[in-house]
Chains A and B, each alone.
Chain A
Amino acid sequence: MTEAEQAREEVAAFQKRIGALREEIGRVIVGNREVIDGVLSCMLGSSHALLEGVPGLGKTMLVRTLAGVLGLEFSRIQFTPDLMPADIIGTVVLDEGAGGARSLEFRRGPIFANIVLADEVNRATPKTQSALLEAMQEHRVTVGRTTHVIEEPYFVLATQNPLEMEGTYPLPEAQLDRFFYKLEVPFPTRDELHAIIDRTTTSQHTEVKRVLTRDEILQMQALVRRVPVARHVQDYAIRVLQATHPGGEEAPELVKRFVRTGASPRGAQAMLLGAKVRALFDGRFAASIDDVKATALAALRHRVLLSFEGEAEGVASDRVINEILKKLPGSKE
């Protein structure tokens, strides 16, 4: 078997696993296909997602289901203003052994799981948020003089409620940048609501089964990294990124007027990684411009910072990004 054939089989297997994963999640979660794909993309891209949506849309349920089908260790942290970093990282306690010997022992916090749900992350103080975000970035935690490595795969899903802003601590730009995607959970359609009500108001209880092993997930993450990106696709992602900056060569008028700061290079990385995952979802061997376009909103919306004028005018960053995608042709003339 040639390497190409082997790669072809890998891609086919990836697609098959994803199909199974989607199917199993779909047994619990109604609709929200894009959100589910976005969450999976973040996980397969070895990164983290920020979910934003009003309460009751099934954000926590989604993460819980995901943890169930993946058979990974899951922990949920409800962020509150009095939550301390040690509450999530863990702490050193004095342990008295059977012989009466006392020793200091590190008790791991909920952050040491494969899948962490940071519920309402914006309600915690910046200090606690920072502790979480450091672990997200480094995949390790240092307590005292000891560094504790978090086991792979490591995936944090943070949620935040866009309505109740009072008494919250909005995540600073630098910390938002750490999230691969910011996914907006839409309100369900009528059919979806019917299905949700049917499933949740009866005695019917759906148990999900484990679909993937930990190793399989790591293999899939590795495959994502190996997906090649042609120069023109990468060029397009870079042009989109540059266009988010008011001083960019191809920035549209809307960007020049309402954007304060464009996306960082992490935005381009997110777009391309997301594009790779999407290519594999479709069983393709390389990412395309369409993939980049499809990931642009989720990858850039939390990275494009609007100016005061933009905020005052109520311009959403999604509108700005859509304008960029509309104005920017697939190939440079």
Chain B
Amino acid sequence: MASRDGIALLRRAARKAGRRQRAAAIFSQIALLLPLPLGYAVLVLTAVKALRLDAASQRFWWLLGVVPLLVLLVGVGRALFTRRPSWQGSIALDQFHGFHDRVTSALSFSQVPPAERTPLMEAAIEDGAALAGKLDPRRAVPIPLPRELVVAAGLLLGLGALSLFEVRHYRPLPPPPSFEPMVMSADDIELFRDVAKELQAKNDDPNALVAVHRFNQLVEDIAEHRLDRHEVFQRMGELERDLKDNLELDRDARDEGLKGLARELEKSGLSKPAADALDEKRLADAEKALRELAEKLRKKDGRPSAAELEKLRQALEKASRSNEERAKSIDQRRRELEEEKKSLLKKKGEKGDAGATPDLDKKLAENERKLERLDREKNRAERSQKQMSELDKQLAQAARDLMRDAGQSAQDLEQGARDINRMAKQEATEEQKQELLKKLQEMRELMRQQGKGGKDQMQRLQKFGQRARGQSGGGQGKPGEGQGEGQQGGKKDGPLRMGSGPGSVSIDVPVPQSVSGQGQGQPGDKPGGSDPGAGANYGTGHDPNVAGNATDLKGKTTDVTAAGADTGQGAASSQVIYGAAERGFVGRGYKQVFTDYQTVAERALSQDEIPSGYRFYVRRYFQLIRPRD
């Protein structure tokens, strides 16, 4: 019994020793193989820091580190799972305690069936069991620190130090983004300021005035160099888009309002002419038709019958309410759709994600689309209501007054006619907006072209602007040299050179790049004069006859009076142009000639005689040679 307990103790001690041996083997394997992945990591980290590997290369090399890591894992796995002899632990115990295999032998013989055991085996078992208390597996199988661990620890420290070490690389930083303002020549700034002033003067519509103000602000910002090229184009784009949107919305709203009126007014024979005119957007005819109706109501003879008047009253009343009714109807429809949307959303919420069927989603999307469309219609209806409010009021008043006092009603209708007239004027406002749009497009094209020309073209423009105002500037030719090259012979950036008659002054007219020296110049037709600048210094000496000769009173004189005939014709156009070349584009005469020429040019432009690709250049040419104040 005692020997059985002893054998159990022996077995336990042997197992423990075996486990410690396995642990020591694993530890040894780790210490032996750990330097592999650590060394690899040190190498890769060094390469990453020193060679500045890109992200893809880094990923590749780090992934390749799986190989040494696998080697380590395989080594550890082998130490962990390799099958060892069962007596290995007990042999270690025997060897450590110097028991001459008494423990191992006892364990070995204890596995022999008792019947087969010899007396010496039994004695050996008892002998071994007696040693159970003396065994110390911990001391018998120590787990020492492997020597190779020093290498691994060194590499680990190196890795840590390396990760903290920062290799400085000097990388040139990109220069900070510089602000390059959009530059426009002073001459063009003035041109667009004038355009803004002109549009402001022509307009009294608040919307149009806001647009003009924005345009003016844009020009001023460019003049003050507050915007770069990108911002300028962005602002122009926004302005253009707003203008177009406003134009379309106003036009649609007015058309719808007028159609609504026309629909109701045509129900009465009296107001039908006005209705037809409104339907066809002939506002002047509509005004006239309403005035005629007012006149008819005022007349005592041939007044319309009571039935006709009643019909007219009803037509006027309905017409006055048509816009309001339309807005209300849209509101009603919108409310219904909102209700439907709420109901659909509620249904979807109740069913949860699982219940969200494609059919339900489709209905919701359809509902959203309808609501958006109605919002647009409502916007139009409100605009229409606003535009037509005065006319509606007058028509309503006319309807009320019609049965009581026809005269008063006639006055109301006349007032309505005036409102139509006002609406017609609004169309004129639209033309101003269109013009502003056109100017914006020109400005954009101009800036686009200037962007290609670079600084040289800007300098030429500045010089040209000064000369155009009659200020002296560089590049003045010497009098008498003559001038007049006809063509610029294919020189791409060559300025047009205006021939100037006597050949004393030349003005370079900068043109956009795409025109390759096609300006038609007039060749100088006279030889150059003497150089007036040659005698710039004070003379020396003096005239001996300072007082001049004495008066000879002996001569006979006859007094003749001559008076010039004023034909009112003034100088010829060519003379004015020659003069402009000398003095700049100033003066009344030049303005007159320019206007004549520009009128011809505009006519040619409007009649599509100029190819569309060249229209900008024609307009630009006339902008450049426009009269300056």
Give chain A's interface residues, CB within 8 Å of chain B: 2-8, 11, 226-228, 230-233, 279, 282, 284-291, 330-333
Contacts and interface: CB of A to CB of B under 8 A. Distances in A.
Given A284-B127, A332-B85, A227 B91 contact: no
Interface in B78-92: 84-85, 87-88, 91-92
Interface in B97-156: 100-102, 104-105, 108-109, 118-124, 126-127
Given A233-B101, A290-B101, A285 B120 contact: yes
Contacts, number: 81
A291 B94 CA distance: 13
A282 B102 CA distance: 12
21 contacts: A4-B119, A4-B126, A8-B123, A228-B105, A228-B109, A230-B104, A230-B105, A231-B87, A233-B101, A233-B105, A279-B100, A284-B100, A285-B121, A285-B123, A286-B109, A286-B120, A289-B91, A290-B100, A290-B101, A331-B85, A331-B88
B119 A6 contact: yes
Nearest to A227: B120
A319 B551 CA distance: 161
Contact of A286 (B91, B105, B119): B105
B551 to A, nearest CB: 151
B85 A4 contact: no
Given A7-B122, A228-B124, A288-B105, 19 more contacts: A4-B122, A7-B118, A7-B123, A8-B123, A226-B118, A227-B120, A230-B101, A230-B108, A232-B85, A232-B101, A233-B101, A279-B100, A285-B105, A285-B127, A286-B101, A286-B124, A288-B101, A290-B101, A330-B95
A314 to B, nearest CB: 34
A45 B581 CA distance: 144
Contacts of A279: 100
A188 B120 CA distance: 38
Contacts of A290: 100-101
Contacts of B94: 288
Chain B interface mostly helix, strand, loop or mixed?
helix
Nearest to A8: B123
Contacts of B119: 2-4, 6-7
A204 to B, nearest CB: 40
A288 B106 CA distance: 11
Q: Rank and list the top 9 A-B pairs by shortest CB-CB distance, nearest first.
A: A288-B101, A3-B119, A7-B119, A230-B108, A285-B124, A4-B122, A230-B105, A288-B100, A286-B105
B615 to A, nearest CB: 99
Nearest to A6: B119
The CB with the most chain A CB atoms within 10 A, among B85, B102, B119, is that of: B119
B127 A232 contact: no
A291 B120 contact: no
Interface residues of B, number: 24
A331 B120 CA distance: 24
B84 A232 contact: no
A3 B101 CA distance: 22
A234 B127 CA distance: 20
A15 to B, nearest CB: 13
A290 B100 CA distance: 6
Nearest to B88: A331
Contact of A231 (B108, B118, B120): B108
Contacts of B88: 331
A4 B123 contact: yes
A227 B104 CA distance: 15
B4 to A, nearest CB: 14
A318 to B, nearest CB: 23
Contact of A228 (B84, B92, B121): B121
Contacts of B92: 331
B17 to A, nearest CB: 11
Contacts of A232: 85, 87, 91, 101, 104, 108
* A5, A228, A282: most-surrounded residue (chain B CB, <10 A): A228
A231 B85 CA distance: 11
B100 A330 contact: no
A154 B123 CA distance: 30
B84 A333 contact: yes
A232 to B, nearest CB: 5
A287 B84 CA distance: 22
A288 B102 contact: yes
Nearest to B122: A4
Contacts of B124: 228, 284-286
Contacts of A2: 119, 122
Nearest to B3: A4
Contacts of B123: 4-5, 7-8, 11, 285
B46 to A, nearest CB: 38
Contacts of A3: 119, 122
A232 B119 CA distance: 20
Contacts of B118: 7, 226, 228
A296 B388 CA distance: 128
A232 B126 CA distance: 19
Contacts of B126: 4
Contacts of B100: 279, 282, 284, 288, 290-291
A7 B91 contact: no
A111 B94 CA distance: 45
Contacts of A6: 119
Contact of B101 (A7, A226, A289, A333): A289
Contacts of A284: 100, 102, 124, 127
A15 B82 CA distance: 42
B107 to A, nearest CB: 8
B102 A331 contact: no
A191 to B, nearest CB: 28
Nearest to B91: A331
Interface centre among A5, A227, A330 (most CB of B within 10 A): A330
Contact of B102 (A11, A226, A286): A286
A229 to B, nearest CB: 8
Contacts of A233: 101, 105
Contacts of A5: 123
A232 B109 CA distance: 11
A226 B122 CA distance: 12
B410 to A, nearest CB: 127
A228 B100 CA distance: 14
Contacts of B105: 228, 230, 233, 285-286, 288
Contacts of B87: 231-232, 331
A92 B122 CA distance: 52
A5 B3 CA distance: 14
